[in-house]
Structure 1
Amino acid sequence: MSKSLVEMTAEIIQSQISSKQMSTEEIKAALNDTFQTLKALQESESVGIEAEPEEINPAIDPKKSIQKNKIICLECGQEFKMLSPKHLKSHGLNSKEYRKKHGFSARQPLCAKALSEKRSQSGKERGLPDNLRKAIEMRTKDSAKKK
């Protein structure tokens, strides 16, 4: 006896809720999206054609996806401290493509704000900005001597 689309949708979303906290609105959106996806898959399976990939509209505004202690993947909705290249590859993207697709600048770190701040502070404590400035000055002097 096969399960109905509603039962499958409920199981999938119940599984998501057990692994992460979701607001009522997020649950409603996830239920609707999951049901529509399953329905489209079922229809394409019965007709015998491949489902066309739909343009994914992220459930959250890209600007709100990078939060203090987490970053939310705009492709699947999972939460991380940092979006790893391995995870992005599972969506067929690299970090440059992900940034471009979702409107982030090329310099935007794909990690939680707290982690980014911690890394920045650690670099400053190790003297990276000063060392970088010195290296740039030396490189500039060397290129001026060669000309």
Structure 2
Amino acid sequence: MEDYLKEALEIVKAQASVRTMTEDEITSMVQKLATGIKAIAEGAPVAAEESTAVDPQKAIREKSILCCVCGKSFKVITKKHLASHGLTPEEYREKYGYKKKLPLVCKSLQRARRKKMKEMKLWTKRGQNS
């Protein structure tokens, strides 16, 4: 298993040099890669995983939101990214148990947007301001 672990560590090291990763992400990725590399080396068929890369309850964080499918970190999960997994935002929310109207953005950005909208007061009529 040691060679598989070394290979997995090299891959994760390269990934971590390109993007910020949490300890949990690094550990999880090393484990999955080492297992996958071992399975390939032993000729076992590698089945496409249906399990989630990230716990949906822990995916929405203060400064990032993690994709539950691949584990990548974003400020906003876009339709384009979800399309790369063959999902629409609605299907993604349903699959991972999120509320239908939940914005797929990190908490800090969600708060900033909410504050900006309150400052703009778009619900008041234009004529009242003059």
**TM-score, with length taken from structure 2:** 0.77
Structure-1 separation of matches of 2:124 and 2:51: 43
1:123·1:129 contact (CA, 8 Å) conserved in 2? Answer: no
Taking the TM superposition and a 5 Å limit, the aligned residue runs for 1:60-71 are 61-71=55-65
Output the aligned Cα RMSD.
Answer: 2.3
Per-residue CA deviations over 1:75-114 (Å, capped at 9, x if unaligned) read 1221111001111111111111111111100111000111
Per-residue CA deviations over 1:29-53 (Å, capped at 9, x if unaligned) read 221111222333445xx47x6x432
Unaligned residue ranges in structure 1 (runs of 5+): 132-147
Structure-2 separation of matches of 1:112 and 1:27: 20
Which structure: greater helix fraction?
A: 1
Structure-2 separation of matches of 1:41 and 1:129: 58
Taking the TM superposition and a 5 Å limit, the aligned residue runs for 1:30-109 are 30-43=29-42, 46=43, 51-59=46-54, 61-109=55-103
Detail structure 1 runs of 4+ shifted over 4 Å in the superposition: none
Per-residue CA deviations over 1:2-36 (Å, capped at 9, x if unaligned) read xx54443122111122222332x543322111122
The alignment-based identity, stated in percent, is: 34
RCO comparison, higher one (Cα < 8 Å, 6+): 2
The structure number with the bigger radius of gyration is 1
1:99·1:105 contact (CA, 8 Å) conserved in 2? Answer: yes
Unaligned residue ranges in structure 2 (runs of 5+): 126-130
Taking the TM superposition and a 5 Å limit, the aligned residue runs for 1:106-121 are 106-121=100-115
**TM-score, with length taken from structure 1:** 0.70
Structure-2 separation of matches of 1:118 and 1:26: 26
Aligned length: 122
